[in-house]
Structure 1
Amino acid sequence: MKIPNLTTKVTCDTQANQKKHALINFDIHQCVNDSQAFLIYTLTHSFIIIFLFMATVAHLFYWDVSYVLQYMKAKLKGYQSLNLPDCVYDVFVTYDTRDPHVSEWVMTNLRVELEEEGDKHLPLCLEERDWPPGAPLVENLAHSIRYSRKTLFVLTEAYMRTGVFKLAMCMAHQRLLDENVDVIMLLMLQPVLQHSHFLRLRRRMCEKSVLEWPRTAAAEPWFWQTLRNVVRVDNQLIYNETYSKCFTIK
């Protein structure tokens, strides 16, 4: 493309200091503000990095942060544990309520065997039945764990990846730290935690508090009776003898 008289008659008409000067002699870098461009680049780059970092942290540690904030809030307000002689429930059962098969198993098998069968009926605290609607999740979990003698985790692959499981486990461990009361029971409905250091430690410390759903129907009566026995007994009474001598407080 040829522009006639480019070197003589085509002049600038914008900036006052360049007006009527030949366009071919104009320095394009005069239109670029390097400091302003660098500032915009820095702000945009920082915003993207911070946004991605916050999104990742929220996805991975949302429930941990929620628990820490609730715990600090309770400490700042001076909340203290209530020394109640009796609990409202024998067992708080926490499980994957989003899985219809697990919910059905809990309501039609676990609930019936513990609440309706056996010599002594054991009242359960179930999210789908006993939690007041509209109350915050953290408040419901804290209330259920605090007012139950034991907390039974019905473990499946999907449930262990949820924030509810992590938060409930943190709260159950907090009772052990604050009150020296071990309320944790593990019921593996699916073969999970096979290579977990936590499960190995739990088996060494209190093996009877770790139960597996039997693969054969003939073993189910034995399983239910074992579960009833563990629920009725304080975990510290069934600790491994070596652990009891070294770590438990008399």
Structure 2
Amino acid sequence: MYNAFVIYDTEDPLVSDWVLSHLRVELEEHGGERVRPLCLEERDWVPGIPIIDNLSRSVRLSKKTIFVLTEGFTGSSLFKMAAFLVHQLLVEEGRDVMVLLLLQPVLLRSRILGLRRCLCHHSVLEWPTNPAAQGWFWQQLRSAVRIERQASHSKLHRKYFSSR
């Protein structure tokens, strides 16, 4: 139903503004290779439904989940729940749907981020400090959202976690 679900710190007005005014506009409205529709909390979540249900629905109905990472967001329960749901898809269905967008330099010493950069470098993107590199960034993000990646699991993993 959605090309990507974008999860970010909706409590931070600067981040919300960047996502709604730049990321959304760039992916849904600009360029020849548009990425639409995007699933956004403010626009697409059903009011009155528990957060976990909206979150689960957004992850399930999206081809990819883009995590816009900032220092304040990486410690939040929403980030942790979304990461759990995305990793659950990886384990249960073998689909790698995570795209990490580092809007701020966060988790630089994280082993998980380091491992993800080594194994899935295409899905870890950093917002460039040089404005001239922004066009390249948007192209990389479009590519990360479009490309379907199946996780390669060992035979033991497939036998233990799935019926494949």
TM-score w.r.t. the length of structure 1 is 0.60
Q: Distance in 1 between matches of 2:34 and 2:144?
A: 14
Taking only the aligned residue pairs, the percentage that are identical comes to 54
Q: Distance in 2 between matches of 1:129 and 1:245?
A: 36
The 5-angstrom pairing of residues 171-182 of structure 1 reads: 171-182=85-96
- Tell me how far 1:234 sits from its aligned partner: 1.2
RMSD: 1.8
The 5-angstrom pairing of residues 232-247 of structure 1 reads: 232-236=146-150, 244=152
Match of 2:140 among 218, 226, 232: 226
Alignment deviations for residues 204-238 of structure 1 (CA, whole Å, 9 cap, x no partner): 111010000000111101100111111110133xx
Classify the secondary structure of the residue corresponding to 1:160: coil
Alignment deviations for residues 125-156 of structure 1 (CA, whole Å, 9 cap, x no partner): 00011111111000000000000000000000
Structure 1 gaps, min length 5:
1-87
- Which residue identity lines up with residue 201 of structure 1 in the other structure? L
CA spacing shift, 1:159–1:246, aligned 2, 3 Å: same
Q: Distance in 2 between matches of 1:137 and 1:120?
A: 31
- Does the 8 Å CA contact 1:209/1:235 hold for their aligned counterparts? no
Question: Which structure features the higher share of strand residues?
Answer: 2
Q: Does residue 116 in structure 1 map to residue 29 in structure 2?
A: yes
- For the pair shown, which has the larger CA radius of gyration, 1 or 2? 1
- Does the 8 Å CA contact 1:186/1:209 hold for their aligned counterparts? yes
- Tell me how far 1:245 sits from its aligned partner: 8.6
Runs of 4+ in 1 over 2 A off after TM superposition: 244-250
Match of 2:69 among 152, 155, 158: 155
Alignment deviations for residues 59-87 of structure 1 (CA, whole Å, 9 cap, x no partner): xxxxxxxxxxxxxxxxxxxxxxxxxxxxx
What corresponds to 2:107 in structure 1? 193
- Tell me how far 1:246 sits from its aligned partner: 5.9
- Tell me how far 1:178 sits from its aligned partner: 1.1
TM-score w.r.t. the length of structure 2 is 0.90
CA spacing shift, 1:184–1:134, aligned 2, 3 Å: same
Structure 2 gaps, min length 5:
159-163
